[in-house]
Amino acid sequence: MHSLILGHRGASGHAPENTLASFRLAFQYGADGVEFDVHVSKEGALVVCHDPRVDRTTDGSGEIRAMNLSQIKKLDAGSWYGKDFTGERMPTLQEVFAIAPFESILNIEVKKGVHGLYPLEKPLASAILSSGRLNQIIVSSFETKYLINLHQVCPQLRLGLLIHPEELFSFSFDTLPSIPLYSLHPYFAFLNEEWVKKARQKGYRIFTWTANDKKDIEYCVHLGCDGIITNYPDRRP
């Protein structure tokens, strides 16, 4: 079977994560799609960043939830990575929609803030519906509560549950949330043939992360993963 290759935070092995430069590069490398992380600004804008604070990936400091979009847009999200990327900005979800090829797969990971979950379910569902990309978007999260709420708000959404590496030994298919899940998103070192077979029998698609070595990507392909999330979409087999 064909495994989709998704650039993790774009092509973040070659460009500053979660920037438009990183997403564009992933598509130039032939990625089938990209994975990226979403937080919420003070006025409720959906902004793309991995951490709940801007400190690690910009020249600024502070919590995204406490900042207006106008403040966030002044930050340089590229020069920490390299001078060639000076001036890159933290994108909004809409800006990612604007540059991503329409047929590409967008894996939107919803994160929690410093003080817990954001009230993002309605605005996110609304943005996805109005994008016309419903069938190309997977919303994933480690937070089961988000997925349950999102299912209530918009049952058509494709939802994916992320599985932490430390759940390797405690994971059970019997304790998954009782909503329809489009996919499971385990850490790649979690995978073996038996687990993949069981997930398949239960009807789950598998999108695994973050396989960066070529041999690990090949192993995930060999196992028959539906999607492989990698910092190096240029290393696709």
Q: Is 140 in the site for ligand G3P (CB under 6 A)?
A: yes
Residue 216 contact partner, candidates Mg ion, ligand G3P, none, CB within 5 to 8 A by sort of partner: none
Q: Does 14 participate in catalysis according to the annotation?
A: no
Do 108 and 124 touch, CB atoms closer than 8 A?
Answer: yes
The sign of the dihedral angle between the CA atoms of 137, 143, 147, 152 is: negative
- Interface with ligand G3P: number of residues (CB under 6 A): 11
Q: Which is nearer to ligand G3P, 109 or 121 (CB)?
A: 109
> Residue 35 interacts with ligand G3P (CB under 6 A)?
yes
Task: Assess 143 for contact with ligand G3P (CB under 6 A).
Answer: no
Active site residue: 2, 14, 39, 50, which one? 50
Contact track, ligand G3P, 167-186, x by CB under 6 A: ------------------x-
Residue 86 to residue 26: CA distance in whole angstroms: 19
How many positions of this chain bind Mg ion (CB under 5 A)? 2
Long-range contacts of residues 143-146, Cβ cutoff 8 Å, at least 24 apart: 143/110, 143/112, 143/117, 144/177, 145/117, 146/110, 146/117, 146/120, 146/121
Segment 55 to 114, residues that bind ligand G3P, using CB under 6 A: 109
Active-site residue flag, 8: yes
User: Nearer to ligand G3P by C-beta: 84 or 160?
Assistant: 160
Give CA separation, 15 vs 25, 27, 36, 186, 212, in Å.
8, 13, 14, 24, 15
User: Residue 168 belongs to what H/E stretch?
Assistant: none
What's the token pair of residue 135? Answer: 């069938």
**Closest to ligand G3P by CB, 24 or 50:** 50
Q: Report what 162 binds from Mg ion, ligand G3P, none; CB cut-off 5-8 Å by kind.
A: ligand G3P
Angle in degrees, CA 39, 183, 232, rounded to 5: 65
Residue with tokens 């598509």: 27
Residues annotated as part of the active site: 8, 50
Which residues contribute to the site for Mg ion (CB under 5 A)? 37, 109
Which residues contribute to the site for ligand G3P (CB under 6 A)? 8, 35, 37, 50, 109, 140, 162, 185, 209-210, 229
